[in-house]
């Protein structure tokens, strides 16, 4: 097993002026090679702090990868500091210097002597050509440790890693890089992260060769199932029993095992079942309709929508009885149900969705606080209405409402939602 540590060099990274996408890219690529990244360090353009970061990384990792600090200016000190730490010289390579000067001449760039430092390398190191920029990279083995140095610009680093570093790693660590890391991602809706963890608690605690990790994403929970194997098919065999058990326990929440979004899944089901849908929205302002029609070919399943903010629109267009609005208020189970049934009848669709609620930041009361939302689904056979209490700001409440409405629709299409006429109280 090869343990790696990433050291990102640049004060601009510490200040948050630049997003560190290099660390994300390298971690993903190393994982695919079966190399485990145990630590990521970000250090400014400071020689002593970089030296300390190198010491820490060398003590706990087999492979140390540095990014940034290879330019011509004084604060570009990565190679110099690495050479000092390893107690090795840094020497200008004539061939690299000539190549660099020719590059400047070909691109009509003004040459200054400080550019020559980009052609300096530790003797015995492997030089990685920079096909997209000026500063080459470098790799060296020293006392059983591997050191890789890359330029900071992501476009330069990515091509250099793929073209030159991967072959070097496979050559230098042939015994260790035998298995790659494979993953499959399961997507869940209608359940919290803690709720899903509770269902899978014993599997998570017992994880060994195949690991489980939960992630919260907008509108869904993801479970990454990961393991090392010689091939994708071998990984699938190793993970099969575990995945089967997870599927069995999470029926009613697991909506995808690939890259599909919940919107894509529900619209595919609508098309497969040849069902049409329409929406009547108040607090979400048409967000659900926009989501459902974002898929090409949505005219085959989407009948129409009404954004009914005003009570007059609810009454005159959707047919919501005025006595319901007067007695229960616009934000109520009764009005939400009437909105779903009204839009279904108006458009002649198989399914009608009604949404009414208080997205805030104002408008809430003790009885009906900000975040209270009613979501209704009407069919020819029955109508489901659920109440939810969402936390967050206005946009967050609206987005959560749309996700929950899609989840309710998914349950219905999967035949998980039977005649649930009671209001579901969920937080």
Smallest Cα–Cα separation from 274: which of 238, 312, 301? 301
Smallest Cα–Cα separation from 372: which of 310, 425, 315, 295? 425
Half-sphere exposure at residue 275, Cβ-oriented, CA atoms within 13 angstroms: 21
Distance CA 232, CA 227 (A): 10
Query: What is the mean predicted confidence (pLDDT) over 22-51?
Result: 95
Spatial neighbors of 18 by CB under 8 A, at least 6 apart, are 10, 12
Distance CA 421, CA 210 (A): 41
Q: Is the pLDDT of residue 6 over 50?
A: yes
* β-strand pairing of 277-281 with 351-357: parallel
Distance CA 122, CA 120 (A): 7
Q: Is the pLDDT of residue 369 over 60?
A: yes
Residue 118: its H or E element: none
Distance CA 21, CA 277 (A): 41
Distance CA 238, CA 228 (A): 9
- Same CATH topology for 3-172 and 180-256? no
Measuring CA to CA, how many Å separate 166 from each of 32, 33, 123, 128?
A: 11, 9, 21, 11
DSSP letters for 322-359: HHHHHHH-SSSHHHHHHHHHHHHHHHT-SEEEEEEE--
The topology (CATH level 3) of 180-256 is: Alpha-Beta Plaits (3.30.70)
**pLDDT score recorded for residue 417:** 57
Domain assignments of the chain as residue spans, ordered by start: 3-172, 180-256, 262-426
**pLDDT score recorded for residue 424:** 37
Angle in degrees, 0-180, between the axes of helices 262-273 and 394-413, rounded to the nearest 10:
30
**pLDDT score recorded for residue 178:** 78
**pLDDT tens track for 249-258:** 999 999 999 8
- CATH code reported for the domain at 3-172: 3.40.980.10
**pLDDT tens track for 167-225:** 999 999 987 777 888 899 999 999 999 999 999 999 999 998 899 999 999 999 999 99
Place of tokens 């399961």: 186
Decide if 140 contacts 124 (C-beta within 8 A).
yes
Percent of the chain scoring above 70 in pLDDT:
97
Q: The dihedral of CA 314, 316, 321, 326: what is its sign?
A: positive
What pLDDT band is residue 86 in, cutting at 50, 70 and 90?
very high
**Overall CATH class of domain 262-426:** alpha beta
**pLDDT score recorded for residue 180:** 82
Q: Is the pLDDT of residue 390 over 50?
A: yes
Q: Is the pLDDT of residue 382 over 70?
A: yes
**pLDDT tens track for 322-346:** 999 999 999 999 999 999 999 999 9
Alpha helix positions (H), 107-206: 154-160, 166-172, 193-199, 201-205
**pLDDT score recorded for residue 426:** 35
């Amino acid at each position: 097993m090869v343990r790696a540590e990433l050291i990102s060099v640049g004060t601009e990274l510490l200040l948050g002026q630049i997003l560190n996408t290099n660390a994300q890219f390298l971690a993903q690529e190393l994982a695919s090679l079966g190399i485990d990244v145990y630590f990521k360090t970000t250090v400014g353009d400071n020689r002593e702090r970089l030296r300390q970061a190198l010491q820490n990384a060398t003590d706990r990792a087999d492979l140390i990868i540095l990014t940034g600090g290879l330019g011509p200016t004084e604060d570009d000190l990565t190679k110099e500091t690495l050479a000092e730490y390893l107690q090795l010289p840094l020497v200008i390579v004539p061939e690299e210097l000539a190549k660099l000067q020719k590059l400047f001449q070909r691109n009509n760039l003004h040459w200054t002597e400080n550019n020559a430092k980009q052609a300096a390398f530790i003797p015995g190191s492997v030089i990685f050509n920079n096909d997209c920029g000026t500063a080459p990279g470098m790799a060296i083995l020293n006392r059983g440790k591997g050191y890789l140095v890359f330029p900071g610009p992501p476009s330069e680093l990515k091509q250099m890693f793929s073209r030159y570093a991967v072959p070097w790693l496979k050559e230098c660590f042939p015994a260790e890089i035998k298995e790659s890391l494979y993953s499959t991602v399961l997507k869940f809706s209608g359940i919290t992260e803690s709720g899903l963890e509770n269902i899978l608690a014993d599997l998570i605690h017992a994880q060994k060769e195949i690991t489980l990790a939960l992630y919260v994403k907008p509108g869904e929970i993801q479970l990454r199932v990961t393991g090392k194997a010689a091939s994708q098919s071998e990984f699938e065999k190793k993970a099969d029993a575990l995945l089967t058990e997870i599927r069995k326990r999470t029926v009613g929440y697991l909506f995808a095992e690939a890259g599909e979004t919940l919107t894509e899944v529900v619209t595919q089901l609508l098309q497969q079942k040849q069902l049409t849908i329409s929406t009547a929205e108040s607090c979400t302002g048409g967000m659900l309709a926009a989501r459902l029609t974002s898929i090409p070919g949505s005219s085959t399943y989407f009948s129409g929508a009404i954004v009914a903010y005003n009570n007059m629109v609810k009454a005159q267009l959707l047919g919501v009885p005025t006595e319901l609005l007067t007695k229960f208020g616009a934000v109520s189970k009764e009005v939400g149900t009437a909105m779903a049934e009204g839009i279904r009848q108006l458009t002649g669709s198989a399914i009608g969705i009604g949404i009414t609620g208080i997205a805030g930041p104002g408008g809430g009361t003790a009885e009906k606080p900000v975040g209270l939302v009613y979501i209704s689904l009407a069919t020819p056979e029955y109508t489901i209405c659920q109440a939810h209490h969402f936390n967050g700001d206005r946009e967050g409440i609206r987005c959560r409402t749309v996700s929950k409405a899609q989840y309710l629709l998914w349950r219905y299409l999967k035949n998980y939602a039977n005649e649930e006429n009671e209001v579901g109280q969920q937080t």
